[in-house]
Chains A and B, each alone.
Chain A
Amino acid sequence: MRKSRIVTVFMLISIMFTSLLFANGQSEESTTADKLFTIGMSQCNLGEPWRVQMNADVKSEADKYDNIKVIYKDAQNDTLKQRSHVEEFVSAEVDLLIISPKEAQPLTGPVSAAMAAGIPVIVLDRAVIGDDYTQFIGADNVIIGKAAGEWVVETFGGKGAKVVELMGLQTSPPGQDRHNGFREAIKGSDVEVIFEADVKWLEPNARKEMESALSRFDDIDLVYGHNDPAAHGAYLAAKAAGREGDIQFIGIDALPHEGVAYVKDGILNATFQYPTGGNIAIQQALKILAGETVEKNITLGSRLFTTDNVDTGGVELK
Chain B
Amino acid sequence: MTDSTQTSALMKEGRFVRFLSSSAGRATIAFVLVMLLGLIFNADGAFFKLGMHRDALRQASVFGILAVGMTVVIITGGIDLSVGSILAVSAVLFSILTLHLDWPAWISILSCIIVGAGLGAISGTLIAVTKLQPFIATLAMMTFGRGVAKYITGGQKISTYLTNSDGEVIIKELPRIFKVIDSRIMGGNIAIVSIIFLFCLLITWLFLAKHKWGRELFSIGGNEESARLSGVPVKWTKFLAYTVSGIMCAIAGIAQAAQETQGDPEAGGGYELTAIAMVVIGGTNMAGGRGGMGLTLIGILTIGYLEKILSINAVPESGRLLITGVIIVLAVLTQRKNRN
Contacts and interface: CB of A to CB of B under 8 A. Distances in A.
A and B touch in the complex (CB under 8 A): yes
A265 B314 CA distance: 30
Contacts of A214: 51
A204 B307 contact: no
B126 interface: yes
A257 B130 contact: no
Interface in A203-255: 203-204, 207-209, 211-212, 214-216, 233, 236, 240-241
Nearest to B267: A204
B224 interface: no
Instruction: For chain B, give the interface size range.
Output: 35 or more
B159 A261 contact: yes
B103 interface: no
B46 A261 contact: no
Interface string B6-50: 000000000000000000000000000000000000011010010
B260 interface: yes
A212 B311 contact: yes
A216 B46 contact: yes
Contact of B314 (A197, A208, A258): A197
A170 interface: yes
Interface string B299-310: 000000001100
Interface in B237-254: none
Contacts of B182: 236, 240
B155 A52 contact: yes
Contacts of B59: 208, 211
Given A207-B259, A257-B163, A261-B161, A22 B151 contact: yes
Contacts of A109: none
B164 to A, nearest CB: 12
A172 B311 CA distance: 21
Contacts of A256: 161, 163, 169
Q: Which of A203, A256, A260 is packed against the most chain B CB atoms within 10 Å?
A: A203
Given A216-B43, A216-B44, A256-B163, A8 B307 contact: no
A91 interface: no
A4 B155 contact: no
Contacts of A195: 314
A52 B169 contact: no
A198 interface: yes
A279 B46 CA distance: 48
A257 B159 contact: yes
Contacts, number: 92
Q: Which of A4, A19, A46, A197 is packed against the most chain B CB atoms within 10 Å?
A: A197
Instruction: For chain A, give the interface size range.
Output: 35 or more
A208 B307 CA distance: 9
B52 A261 contact: no
B311 A197 contact: yes
Contacts of A265: 160-161, 171
B316 interface: yes
B169 A264 contact: yes
Nearest to B50: A215
Given A22-B151, A52-B155, A256-B169, A203 B264 contact: yes
B259 A236 contact: yes
A256 B317 CA distance: 31
Nearest to A22: B151
Nearest to A264: B171
Nearest to A262: B161
Nearest to A8: B130
B155 A215 contact: no
A260 B169 CA distance: 9
Q: Which of B126, B256, B312 is packed against the most chain A CB atoms within 10 Å?
A: B312
Nearest to A260: B169
Nearest to B62: A204
B111 interface: no
A4 B129 CA distance: 8
Given A216-B43, A233-B260, 17 more contacts: A4-B129, A8-B130, A19-B151, A22-B151, A47-B266, A49-B156, A52-B154, A207-B260, A208-B311, A212-B314, A216-B44, A216-B46, A236-B182, A236-B259, A241-B51, A257-B159, A265-B161
Closest 5 CB pairs of A and B: A261-B161, A212-B311, A212-B312, A216-B46, A211-B55
15 contacts: A4-B129, A4-B130, A8-B126, A22-B151, A47-B150, A207-B260, A208-B59, A209-B311, A212-B312, A215-B312, A256-B161, A256-B169, A257-B159, A261-B160, A264-B171
